[in-house]
Structure formats: structure tokens, C-alpha cells
Amino acid sequence: MVNIEIDGIPLSVDSSKMIIQAADEAGVDIPRFCYHKKLSVAANCRMCLVEVDGSRKALPACATLVSEGMQIRTQSKIARDAQRAVMEFLLINHPLDCPICDQGGECELQDMSMGYGAGVSRFSERKRVVPDKNIGPLIQTDMTRCIHCTRCVRFGQEIAGIKELGATGRGEHMEIGTYVEHSLVSELSGNIIDLCPVGALTSKPFRYKARAWEMTAHPSVAPHDAVGSNIEVHVRRNEVMRVVPRDNEDLNESWISDRDRFSYLGLNHPERCLKPLIKIQGQWQETDWQTALEYAVEGLKSVKAKNGADQIAGLISPTATTEEAYLFQKWLRGLGTDNIDHRLRQQDFADDACDYSLQDWDLSALSRSDAIVMLGCSVRSEQPIIAHRIRQANLRGAAVFDINFVRHELFMPDVHQHAVSPKAMMQMLSGIVKSLLPLAKDIDTSDWLPLLPDRSPTAAEQNVAMQLSNADESVILLGELLEQHPQGAKFRKLVSLICRLTGAKLVWLPTANSVGHWQAGAIPRPKASEAVPLNALSMWQQSCRAYVLFNVEPELDCINPSLAMSSLQHASFVVQINNFVTEQMQSYADVILPLAAFTETSGTFISINKEWQTFTGAVAAKGDSRPGWKILRVLGNLSRLSDFEYVSSEEVLSTLKTELRIQPHGEQQTYLPEDLLLDKGLTYISEVPSYRCDPLVRRSIALQQTPEMQDLTTVKIHPELAEKLSLQDGQQVLLSQNDQQHALELRLDETIAHDCVYLPATTSVSARLGAGMTGVEIKSAGSLT
């Protein structure tokens, strides 16, 4: 600690701090453009020049370390003159087109020029003009306005991990750009919009839509991944105009993913459901809420009377709020069914009674971990903010292993990647356990010994084992593809054995708000006396008579689209509560209730850190749509259930919290798989692309135009597999699964694991297929067999 004085205020600050950090903490304002607390110091804008006693010239506050006895003046003549002079230089080439600039009103340069700029420019020469660059569907460029602070360049290099923007040319000819025009590929790219202090980089979908001062800001929480990034929803005249991040050091720091930033564009999609709809004698008609709700309740009652309550099944999207999940299960349980689930893509429920809750783990542990292992986890698309945290850990020296069925570019400096088939992954995990067994002194592994292969572990397996056991803190992250696997429980139990042997933490990455859904009880809870309730898979396999779907599009969101659709077609009554209405829905549903989106309802998302983040609605529900908790409350009333008199979502939340206090979760059980064998043959790798994960994201047009979302309907296999099957790149192939054949185009791709057939899920093509992560066959479409 050193003692300094800023503008006469005595301060005691850490000696590693720069003047600007000390000033920020003390609330002394120093103007700046290039400095950003989360980026490296560039000191190239010179706006933060301050006077330091004993120095001949003004010094940049962002790049000058504090030292004992330092006297700093930010308002002295030397400092003000220096800042004014810098401002004059910055404005030489700046177009001053504020009236037609999207940044106008929230522009750092505009604000600073009010404080430090001269009223009249002394520069009468021509200003330079820089051509704009097309860097994709999300970010608009106006490069003439750029003042070369290089925040965007440093963001790419330091945070996103991929340097796509750079400063080419020299002096007056310097330009920020990509040199060869292309779309940015980072999943965090939208953050450069916030970082840019001028209007050079602005939001493309938001362009010319609203002025900063016309909008009101509403704090909210993003629903698309488990992080629960804190966001601010900007609203004008009851319309969501844009979404920007809200700082939260424990979760999203200063960033949000492009998915969280641009998903709001789906709110006004033409498919948005605005009126309650009911099907009467095969004809869809708009109706009022009362009729629709009564129709729904009557329909379910008659199924209950005819077929029994256990013929009713309910599925809820994990993007729903905790309150919605709670009321959903309370209502259905009130009707007498326990067939309730939110784990739309899970296939193996054998270890249901095991406890995977993340009790003593949160995101801050990632930055302390020395070893991080990802299994079946495409972390950049599933959990972009967690990917950023892992990257920072990797930069700090943590060993990172990415064991997946496809090798994705991770933009991490030193990561061990293995693209393996499910079978090979199981072998690898077994090998890791084998190399750990000599260390197992106090841990009883006798149950497992017969299951493990009789071979010595490979060098790669030993490496993972060694890194995990040597680490002070380590973590194994289970991703979505592993969750989807029909023998997922075998993987999970083997991984939890590794964790017991090494002290690593097992983190089964939650999908969206699934932590909240577990708390709210949106899962089938077996009761000793009754039949086993149906889970998200068996309710399709058993083909129930009635389904209640809450913001679920089964042909896209469920693991087995063709099975789900045939069960729905055979059901006698289907209630769909959704933000949107599609032809598909109209083909199977009987009632469609318009649901308010997350910006239009109050509720709570529980983050991966187990933080209960309650938010309020930013805008009124669109059309006749209503917040989910209100719809479910009235459904409960109409079903004549007691304790359904909630008048606010807070009331729902406090009931849930009381219930959680009274009845803690059931006792934890253990589960041991009988064997570690998997099916032979090829596996259909049904990965969910990043911008297809829920109904709202799928309808954000700008996100769908990104390069990652192109080419989602071709099958990809490894060239060596293609050679074995004598298939060529670009040819038509037949993908066969359960006697069904689908003709698709083939691409050869070295990033796909051997014995795997990669085809993204949640597309119109995958909607016709059966279960993901199961066996498939592939052959040339030309052969007639």
C-alpha cells in the first residue's frame, strides 16, 4: 500500500494500481477512451493525461503506477490543457455527424467534447474518410468515426481469444478492420459494440431504431444459458429495443454472449402467438382467454376421467422461470399426474436419485482450478461466458482438456483436445480410472474393478489422471452431448468415481434455468406406493393420451423428434403454452395459449452459482399473451385446486421457498452401472447449434444469419470413415435410423470423431429423425440395397 493524493484527497492504495484505477475507486473522474478496466493498458488515446508533481510533463493516468507520496492533479492547468489538446487532435478526423450517428446521446467522445472540446475547430483541411467494413449481421461499422482506441482489437485478442480486428496502415492511413472482409466468429463479438467509445461499431439490428434518451432501462436476467447473465433491457414505447450487459463480477463480469444480446429480436417474429387459439372440429379459431382456459381444463379432465390422470404428461422448457416451473408442476400434480419433466434432451435416467447439485461450486472456482476437463461439452456454444472463464484459467496456466465427439475451435492457447466416439470416450474414462487406482487408498473401488477393462492406461489417459490428481482444485464439466447419450448414467458414474479418486468437482452443466426447475420440482418424483412416473423420454415412449407443453417445440427441443411427433399425433388432447405458434403446433395441439416472453414477465432464474435472481417485466405482454405464472394460476383455479390464489410472482416464489424449507430433497442414493459397454456401430451426434437452443433464439433473424448457423443440414463424417464406407465429399447419402431413411448431403470433416455421424439438431432436417446420440447407418444414396 502506498499513500497518494488525488486532487488533494489523501488515499491509501495498492502499489500495483495505476493512477486511473485509484481515481476510479475514489470517485475522481478522469476522461479516457482507450482504457477499460477489463482490458490491457494501451495508453494510446492520451485522453487521461494528468499532472503529477515532480514530472516535467503530464502523464497518462492509465499507464502510470502509483508510488509513495505521489501528488496527482486532474484539474490543474497542465492537466486540463493536455486533455484539451488531445481532444482537439481526436476531433481532427472525427466526422461530427452526431445527428445521424447511433451512438449520439451515449457517446463517450460526444460527452468528453462537451467538457474538453473547443467550440470551434481550428482544422480547416479536409477530414479523412475510411470505408466501412462488413463484419457480419450483428455489428454495423462506420469506420470514419473511429478514433483508434483499439479497445475492440484488444477485446478480440484478450477476451474473445481470436484476433479478428486489427489496425492496418500507419499514421493518417491507419484503419481498424479485418483486412480480408469476413464476419466475426466470436460468440462474444457483440461486446465490442459496448466497448467502442464512439459510433464506429454499433449494433446492426438496432441501427436507426431509437435514441438513448428515448429508452428506459430495465434490469433483467438472460434465460438462454446456465450463467444467468445480468442484462439491461432497453425499452421505448413498450417495445424492447435492445439488450446490453449489466456488470456482475460473479457471473458475466462486463460481458454478455451474442445470444443473450440479440435473442430479443425473436420477440416480434411473425410467428409470435398473440391470441388464445382452440381447435374445434379440426378448425382453428381465435378465442378469448376464458374460453381457451376452460377448454384446456375440460379437455384434460375428460382424459383424466376416461384414461386416468397418469395418461397426462407435462413438459416444460428449462428457459421458463422458476415460478412457472413451480406452478406448472403444482397444477399437474393437482390434476393427479406425476409425469412432469424439463430435461428435454436427456435419455438416461437410471441415476435419477443421485445428487449432482453443485453444492459447493461456483464460477469463481474455475479461476482457481488447475485442471479443467470438459466431457461432451461444446462450451463456446452451450455456455459462452463459462468458455470465457475457462479460457482465462487456461491463460493463467490451468490444464484444460476437451474430450468431445467433435473438435471445436476453442480459442484457448493451450488445450488438449480429443475428438472421440462415445465408445472411445468410455474407454478413455476407464483408462483414467485405471491410472488412478493405485492412488485409491481410502476409497473402496471394489465394486468397479470388474467393470474396468484389463489393460494398462495410455499416455493420454495418464496425463489427464495426473493433472487431475496433482491439482489443488480441479473440475470436470459434463456438457449437453453427454447428457443426451442413452447411456449417460454410465458416463456420469464413471466420472464421479474419477472425481472421488482425485478430489475434482463434478459439474453437470445445467441447461438454462434447470437449477431452478429442480428446486421447483419440475421433475417426476417417484412415490413408493405408485407406479413410476414418466420422465421426458418415457412420456413419449409410452404415448400418453394428453400432453401439456410449456414453451416446448418437441420436434426441435426434444431428443427424439419423430417419436415425440408421433406420440403427439396419437394423443387425444394437447395443450400448448408457447410464445409462438407454428403449423407444426397446429397439427397436434388442441389449445394454444399465448405465453409472454421473459422480457414481459416477472420471475426468477437460478444461476449456476445458485443465486436466485429475481427480475421484473420490462414491457407489457404482447397482444393477448399473458405471463406464464398467471396462465398457470388460472388453470389451477379452473381445475378447482386449493392454494392457487397467487396475486404476484413474488407470492409464488415465497411459497416455493417455504416448501423448500419444510421438505428438503429426498435422500441421496447411489447407483452402480452393470457394465460399461456401449452399442457398436456409428453414433448420430445431434449437437444443438448455439443459436438454435430455444424458441426465442431460433427466431432471432440476425443470429440466424451468422456464419455458424449456415450449413446445418449436411451430414459430416471423418474422411477416414468415408474412405472405409467408400463415400465422397459432397455426395448424397442415406442416413438410416430405426427403418427410416433420409437422403442428405455429405461433407467430410476432420474435426468429427471416428465412428460418429454429425448432424446438428433443431433443424427442419433433424426434426424428421429419431433419437440423437443413438446408432445410425450411413450409405451412398446411389446404392440400391
Partner 1 sequence: MTEMQVTGPAEQLFNEQLRYRLDNWIAKYPVNQTQSALIPCMHLIQDANGGWLSDDLLKALAVYLDLPFISVMEVATFYTMFELSPVGQHKISVCTNISCQLCGSEAIVEHLQQRLGVTLGETTADGKFTLKEVECLGACCGAPMLLLDKQYHEFLTPEKVDELLEGIK
Binding positions for partner 1, rule: CB under 8 A? 157, 162-171, 178-180
Nearer residue to partner 1 within complex by CB, 176 or 523: 176
SS3 state at 757: strand
Query: Is the backbone of residue 260 left (phi > 0), alpha (psi -120 to 50) or beta?
Result: alpha
Burial class (CB in 10 A: 0-12, 13-18, 19+), 120: exposed
Nearer residue to partner 1 within complex by CB, 52 or 201: 201
Distances (CA, A) of 594 to 532, 551, 622: 32, 10, 9
Q: Alpha-carbon Rg of the chain, whole angstroms?
A: 28
Nearer residue to partner 1 within complex by CB, 95 or 166: 166
Q: How far is the CB of 365 from partner 1 (least distance, A)?
A: 27
Nearer residue to partner 1 within complex by CB, 458 or 751: 751
Distance CA 303, CA 295 (A): 12
SS3 state at 729: coil
DSSP secondary structure string for all residues of 672-685 = --S------SEEEE
Burial class (CB in 10 A: 0-12, 13-18, 19+), 711: exposed
Nearer residue to partner 1 within complex by CB, 163 or 742: 163
Contacts of 189 (CB under 8 A, 6+ apart): 136, 138, 139, 160, 258
Q: How far is the CB of 164 from partner 1 (least distance, A)?
A: 7
Nearer residue to partner 1 within complex by CB, 169 or 336: 169
User: What is the distance between the terminal CA atoms of the chain, rounded to a whole angstrom?
Assistant: 79
Q: How far is the CB of 171 from partner 1 (least distance, A)?
A: 8
Residue 279, phi then psi, degrees to nearest 5: -105, 115
Q: How far is the CB of 130 from partner 1 (least distance, A)?
A: 14
Distance CA 655, CA 638 (A): 20
Burial class (CB in 10 A: 0-12, 13-18, 19+), 685: buried
Residue 472, phi then psi, degrees to nearest 5: -70, -40
Q: How far is the CB of 691 from partner 1 (least distance, A)?
A: 24
DSSP secondary structure string for all residues of 461-526 = HHHHHHHHHH-SSEEEEE-HHHHHSTTHHHHHHHHHHHHHHH-PEEEEPPPTTHHHHHHHT-S---
Nearer residue to partner 1 within complex by CB, 40 or 541: 40
Q: How far is the CB of 413 from partner 1 (least distance, A)?
A: 8
Q: How far is the CB of 170 from partner 1 (least distance, A)?
A: 5
Find the length of the chain: 785
Q: How far is the CB of 173 from partner 1 (least distance, A)?
A: 8
CB 29 within 8 A of CB 17: no
Nearer residue to partner 1 within complex by CB, 178 or 321: 178
Q: How far is the CB of 157 from partner 1 (least distance, A)?
A: 8
Nearer residue to partner 1 within complex by CB, 150 or 578: 150
